[in-house]
Amino acid sequence: MVLKTTTCRFSGLRIYPGRGILFVRTDGQQYLFINQKAKGLFNQRKRSAKIAWTTTYRKQHKKVRALAARAAALRVRGAEQHGQTRGAARVGCMEECRRPEPWELLERVRVVCAIARS
């Protein structure tokens, strides 16, 4: 299922169906904003290229390329793996590393309480 998204006229961010504020000028031109903050800045006639969180600012100041390059490098390199893989690990090591079940924790608490009482 594909959702049809539109972009905010001020910030350039994606607006999903059922979200956003529609502003219609007297000449019939429609502006769709992601939130009241974007609409208010638009009404104040602020330039979106001077506001740091907008996509036009990020494109103008070359912030997008750095993020895209980092994501591409992660895709090419893959996630870093530390230590042994699960297949090569010893069963004993896996038993030590696994998260204990709730009933095992209760038994440990009972043992500690019994030792403390005596």
Q: What is the pLDDT of residue 23?
A: 97
Q: What is the pLDDT of residue 69?
A: 74
Q: What is the pLDDT of residue 81?
A: 60
**Neighbouring residues of 53: CB distance < 8 A, sequence distance ≥ 6:** 11
Q: Are 15 and 39 in contact (CB under 8 A)?
A: no
Q: What is the pLDDT of residue 79?
A: 60
Q: What are the C-alpha distances in Å from 1 to residues 4, 12, 48?
A: 10, 23, 32
Give the residues of the chain that fall short of pLDDT 50.
Answer: none
Average pLDDT, the chain: 83
Burial of 8 (0-12, 13-18, 19+ CB in 10 A): buried
Summarize pLDDT for 66-88 with one digit per residue, the tens: 667 777 777 777 666 655 555 55
Q: What is the pLDDT of residue 25?
A: 95
**What domains can you pick out in the chain, each with its CATH number?**
1-76 (2.30.170.20)
Whole-structure pTM value: 0.55
Q: What is the pLDDT of residue 108?
A: 79
